[in-house]
Amino acid sequence: MALTFFSLFASALFLLTVFIFYNSSALIYVIVYAVISIIGNTIGGVLKKV
């Protein structure tokens, strides 16, 4: 649950900055940040269980 919440939260925050600071060509990075966030949370979840 926390994994998806944090990933969506990080992506939503970057999505807001795309329209303020960047142009629409930076929208692909919203997906990139979501994937990086999911990977980081998965690694952290695995290490926490160890």
Query: Residues 4-47: pLDDT tens digits?
Result: 788 888 888 888 888 889 888 888 888 888 888 888 888 888 88
Q: Is 41 exposed, middle or buried (0-12, 13-18, 19+ CB in 10 A)?
A: middle
Is the per-residue pLDDT at 1 higher than 60? no
Closest CA to 7 of 38, 28, 42: 38
Q: Is 22 helix (H, G, I), strand (E, B) or coil?
A: coil
Per domain, the residue ranges of the chain are: 2-49
pTM of the model: 0.70
Tell me the C-alpha to C-alpha distance, in Å, between residue 34 and each of 21, 29, 50: 19, 8, 25
Residue 48 has pLDDT above 60, yes or no: yes
